[in-house]
Structure formats: structure tokens, C-alpha cells
Homo-oligomer: A and B are copies of this chain.
Amino acid sequence: MPRATQTDLAVLAVLSIEPMTGYALRDAIRTHLGAFWSESFGQIYPALSRLRADGLVAAGEGDRSGSSLHSLTAAGRARLVELMREPPVSAPPRNGMLLRLFFGSVLGAAACHDLVTEARAQAVAMLEYLAAARRETESDPVGLPQRPYWLMTISAGEHSARAAIAWADETLATLGALSP
């Protein structure tokens, strides 16, 4: 079995919920995993071709002409478990906002204030998005076994967003005191 990308894992995992088209796959990733994962078409379609060639997913007829419903094969499910057991690779950190803030004396306190305000707004938006996701997950007849796990990832986002807001408030106060 050749090299496996992170994308392969994500694609196999989403298909384990239910068969779908490449387009729907991207949609599902955006709406359900959007807070901690992303894939573009340019990744998804080549990945599906590869996985099809390896016999890990099967392509059946979709509703529309030319569209294909991709589903996991037995081999695909086995592969999925294998990939899931591998230790997660963490992307090297790259936070442009903190980089700028670290060199804030170059930028000036006012511009830093804007920077942190924007970061706070993003965290607030994330919190709203997560609140909606939580309502949906808690009410919808989503597959019983996966619901608790979905809520755990939502909670991770909530903790992270609340921390970001608290930090932003503290930092905006400091910044305010720095240049009155």
C-alpha cells in the first residue's frame, strides 16, 4: 500500500458515514469539519481517483448524469482504521497575527489594537458557528454512536474560542494602557 496523505484519511473517514459524490464530500468537510479541517477540490478529486485505483472506494452511479457516488469498500474500511491509528501529524505552527504582535514595537500599539480586535471578532464568530453546530448535533437524529464524538470536537472549538476571547480582552487592556 503506497503513501497515504492526510487527505486520504479525511476522505475515507467522511465516506465511512455515508456514500457521496466528491462535491458533497467537500461540502460535508466544510460544514461538519470546518472548524478544524479543510480540503479543496484540487485535493479531493485526485485523492478519489487514487483511492478508487487502490480498491479502497467504489464508484457507483449518482443521481445526475456524470456524477458518481463514492462508497467505502471493505478494504477501504480496513485502511481507514489503519490510518486512524497512526499518530496525528501536527502542522508546524504559523500564526501570522502573533508574529506581527511579537514585533509590535515595529507596528505601533494602535495597529496592534486593530490586529487583536480582529482576532477577537473571529473568535466570536467561531463561537456562534459552534453554537449552531451544537444545536444541530444535539437535536438531529444523527447516528447515535458518533454523536458524543462530534460534541467533543465542538467543545474543543468552544474552549479554544473562549480562551481566544479572554486573551484578546486582556491584551486589548494592556495595549490601551501602553498608548493612552
Smallest CB gap from A105: residue in B: B145
Does more than half of chain A's interface fall in helix, strand or loop, or is it mixed?
A: helix
In the complex, A80 has a CB within 8 A of chain B: yes
Residues of B within 8 A of A145 (CB): 105
A95:B167 contact, CB within 8 angstroms: no
Given contacts A101-B152, A164-B159, contact A38 B93 (CB under 8 A): yes
In the complex, A24 has a CB within 8 A of chain B: no
Determine the interface band of chain A, counting residues with CB < 8 A from chain B: 35 or more
A144: shortest Cβ distance to chain B, in Å? 9
| Segment with Cβ contacts to B, from A6-14, A44-52, A55-63 | A6-14
Contact with B along A152-180 (1 / 0, CB 8 A): 11011001101110110011001100100
In the complex, A84 has a CB within 8 A of chain B: yes
A140: shortest Cβ distance to chain B, in Å? 15
In the complex, A53 has a CB within 8 A of chain B: no
Smallest CB gap from A97: residue in B: B88
In the complex, A91 has a CB within 8 A of chain B: yes
Residues of B within 8 A of A41 (CB): none
A166: shortest Cβ distance to chain B, in Å? 6
In the complex, A141 has a CB within 8 A of chain B: no
CA distance A49 to B32 in the complex (A): 43
Residues of B within 8 A of A155 (CB): 167, 170-171
CA distance A118 to B143 in the complex (A): 27
Give 3 closest A-B pairs by Cβ, nearest first: A88-B96, A163-B163, A104-B149
* Pairs across A and B, CB under 8 Å, 5 listed: A38-B93, A88-B97, A90-B96, A102-B146, A102-B153
